[in-house]
Structure 1
């Protein structure tokens, strides 16, 4: 079963499998080793050709040297509500061995198998399935992006800024079937504090910038807004990431800088928090490194409830709504008011040497998406 935290509590397969369409296509994607731009683009070329061969109308875009795929069904009906299936084909680096996929005990091992090439392969197969159907409840597009692992600015952000939006978006990030309807916002800052140099034997003649910086750090960390939690996020996310100060041991340091990586609750406004910090902290230079909006989808949203009902039925598990402490491409859609969730198959170890996805979960995932897109009750929207 799957716990509320998303942890897999038992093996998610019925019997060991050696081959299926989901397995073979995922294996192929893993072998592209889509880390560098040329490898990512080669993988995109394969996906584009595969989707065209299986009946899709494919648009290939390019941004900053990286290819993006938008695939539509030939029986596209613009009058229907639009759903986007969003997947990234880029993966994090690793040794050669992790790009040699293998099957063991119902698990498909390999870099990206869980995050998120297994989901991408399954979404491609779902699109192929839908070309054979004429009773669709939604206008469905598949978008494959090249850079989620590095921030998503050249992929999903580029798409939404150019009007590739929908009524509902499913990002196939690894969630062990649970549905992430919240994700924390991001506020990354560089704080620089200046002091005055002096000989270390006479520190009273100087003004220690490191000590002053630590006072500033504690003042920011103790702001009430950073003590808040909610049902989905019982722990705060406030991290002192780097600190640079001092040059030699026998000198009072005259400058110190540190970086903060702060993740905000969906109810908190990153810009308001940034302005609060600037107003509360005097005598320090504050540089904004990154600001990202949170994701907040209503628990009563008809799309997510239909998806949850179908996932419960297919998996025979108790699927939960969850929140993600980290960020994904859902945030770009959220910025435009689009309901976007993370929902993916079951596995473990993403970004690690033993990353795997349960084969049966890919089969289940394909059925869930098909059932959602074919049998959801559009009249309730």
Structure 2
């Protein structure tokens, strides 16, 4: 059994928090992930037996792929992201502080605590030797925006052929087996520009969009009344951004509405497209002056793995033995990279430590739970990889 040095784990997390890694797509001009990727890679290369590479995920943004173990057993992929959201309003986001069993700082909870655990796990496995299978740890960029990091991993998934994967987002030591997806879409209504006094010629694109919004609100209310998914609840919909018009004294020629539809396992983007298109077709049938177009944008699929999936059961069994209780099965409201790994054919579950304040002004990681998480993750790695089936 691997014994983790809690002080070293805390120090490693503090080092990671002290390195800014704000996602540059969320905050143009931000540092990005290169510095922290190079730190992780350099640290891991100091331990013989860990194979480390920097994988270009696009735009010069590097994933760190670290592999340890060469036994005949199975391969387990671990996934954690190294980017963070911004720090506006935070007093000292990159000056980690330990107080009352918590480490404070940007990224401490989301999700550099799990990254620190992955680093120590790789080092301890390499030092111990004789690992029964193989661990492929992926420290990925861009989870907070478009997930180009895990997409790059999935494009090369055949290189590693993982038998299962664990995404190490925070779950408070429960096992998350489902989360929602989302679909972004843009609706544009067209009017006819005219001077405000020429009501005979003007067609108001904003007023027409108002009809669309009324219909979307009705759809939103209907969605939340649908049968709830056991772990993630009902689907939902909201209007996110709107713009239109060109000046106060003119009929608006165009109005653009951007919307987000949250999907649950079993729903598809084709279904969402049909819902939106039906609204526009119906409004056009009621008014010959109504003109609107629908453009579908980014799609992220919902995720679900069976309750009795082997990787789920192994995590729960190891946690029960080490912690004295069996983790609950839960679901997540947000989207995670687990959907990409699952979509690439890898049985995937979500298991991680605890903290608070992801994306908030005060963020912290619970150090006792982080240490417990490390112990369970190590036991899970050995238990899963020792089976060569």
Scaled by the length of structure 2, the TM-score of the pair is 0.85
- Which of 59, 64, 72 matches 2:67? 72
Take 1:336 and 1:177, find their aligned partners in 2: how far apart are those partners? Answer: 25
Aligned-pair distance for 1:151?
2.0
Q: What is residue 378 of structure 2 aligned with on the other side?
A: 370
Aligned-pair distance for 1:144?
0.9
The DSSP-based 3-state class of the residue aligned with 1:252 is: coil
Instruction: Work out whether 1:46 is the aligned partner of 2:33.
Output: no
* Equivalent residues in 2 for 1:178-193, closer than 5 Å: 178-193=174-189
**Superposition RMSD on alpha carbons, in Å?**
2.5
Please tell me whether the aligned partners of residues 135 and 374 of structure 1 are also in contact (alpha carbons under 8 angstroms).
no
Structure 1 residues 221 and 135, CA gap change in structure 2 (3 angstroms): farther
- Which of 70, 80, 84 matches 1:87? 80
- Which of 281, 301, 310 matches 1:302? 310
Q: What is residue 7 of structure 1 aligned with on the other side?
A: none
Question: 4+ residue stretches of structure 1 with deviation over 6 A?
Answer: none
Q: What is residue 20 of structure 2 aligned with on the other side?
A: 33
Q: What is residue 27 of structure 2 aligned with on the other side?
A: none
1:98-144 Cα offsets, whole Å, 9 max, x none, are 11001111111111110111110011111112224456454211111
- Which of 362, 365, 374 matches 1:357? 365
- Which of 290, 300, 307 matches 2:298? 290
Instruction: Work out whether 1:58 is the aligned partner of 2:58.
Output: no
Take 1:353 and 1:113, find their aligned partners in 2: how far apart are those partners? Answer: 12
Please tell me whether the aligned partners of residues 76 and 384 of structure 2 are also in contact (alpha carbons under 8 angstroms).
no
* Equivalent residues in 2 for 1:135-214, closer than 5 Å: 136-153=131-148, 155-163=149-157, 164-198=160-194, 200=196, 203=199, 206-214=202-210
Please tell me whether the aligned partners of residues 220 and 281 of structure 1 are also in contact (alpha carbons under 8 angstroms).
no
The DSSP-based 3-state class of the residue aligned with 1:259 is: strand
* Equivalent residues in 2 for 1:128-139, closer than 5 Å: 128-133=123-128, 136-139=131-134
Name which of structure 1's ranges 287-296 and 317-326 shifts more when overlaid on structure 2. Answer: 317-326
* Equivalent residues in 2 for 1:10-29, closer than 5 Å: 20-29=7-16
Please tell me whether the aligned partners of residues 133 and 385 of structure 2 are also in contact (alpha carbons under 8 angstroms).
no
Aligned-pair distance for 1:262?
1.1
Take 1:252 and 1:58, find their aligned partners in 2: how far apart are those partners? Answer: 60
Please tell me whether the aligned partners of residues 137 and 376 of structure 1 are also in contact (alpha carbons under 8 angstroms).
no
Please tell me whether the aligned partners of residues 137 and 375 of structure 1 are also in contact (alpha carbons under 8 angstroms).
no
Please tell me whether the aligned partners of residues 223 and 235 of structure 2 are also in contact (alpha carbons under 8 angstroms).
no
Instruction: Work out whether 1:347 is the aligned partner of 2:355.
Output: yes
Q: Which runs of 5+ in 2 are unaligned?
A: 25-29, 282-290
Structure 1 residues 57 and 377, CA gap change in structure 2 (3 angstroms): closer
* Equivalent residues in 2 for 1:220-235, closer than 5 Å: 220-223=216-219, 227-228=225-226, 229-235=228-234
The DSSP-based 3-state class of the residue aligned with 1:177 is: coil
Q: What is residue 114 of structure 2 aligned with on the other side?
A: 119
Take 2:298 and 2:82, find their aligned partners in 1: how far apart are those partners? Answer: 24
Aligned-pair distance for 1:233?
2.5
Q: What is residue 284 of structure 2 aligned with on the other side?
A: none
Take 2:132 and 2:307, find their aligned partners in 1: how far apart are those partners? Answer: 21
Take 1:249 and 1:61, find their aligned partners in 2: how far apart are those partners? Answer: 51
1:328-366 Cα offsets, whole Å, 9 max, x none, are 211211221222222211111112221001110111011
The DSSP-based 3-state class of the residue aligned with 1:311 is: helix
Name which of structure 1's ranges 39-48 and 112-121 shifts more when overlaid on structure 2. Answer: 39-48
- Which of 88, 95, 98 matches 2:93? 98
Structure 1 residues 201 and 235, CA gap change in structure 2 (3 angstroms): farther
Aligned-pair distance for 1:197?
3.7
Q: What is residue 286 of structure 2 aligned with on the other side?
A: none
Take 1:379 and 1:84, find their aligned partners in 2: how far apart are those partners? Answer: 15
Aligned-pair distance for 1:309?
2.5
